[in-house]
Amino acid sequence: MGSGGGTEHAAIERWWPHLSIESKHRLLAELGGPIDEKTAAEIESITGAGAPERLSEAERQFVRTQIEPVD
């Protein structure tokens, strides 16, 4: 079902809330780009699993919903 040959990584809902502000800013700066090493290491320390190389479209949409102000 999945695409690509990478290892499984934890769902973004599991690690995004625990990510440091600095890592969130790095991800937001390049939402469609590869995840930098510092952020990947932080994701791995939070989840105990591998970090994705980059965010999927669904993960990018999740991030957008987390940063939008809610009325």
- What pTM did the predictor assign? 0.82
Using DSSP's 3-state secondary structure scheme, residue 34 falls into strand
Please tell me the distance from the alpha carbon of residue 52 to that of residue 4, in angstroms, as a whole number: 11
- pLDDT tens per residue, range 4-63: 445 578 999 999 999 999 999 999 999 999 999 999 999 999 999 999 999 999 999 999
Backbone angles phi, psi at 41, to 5 degrees: -65, -40
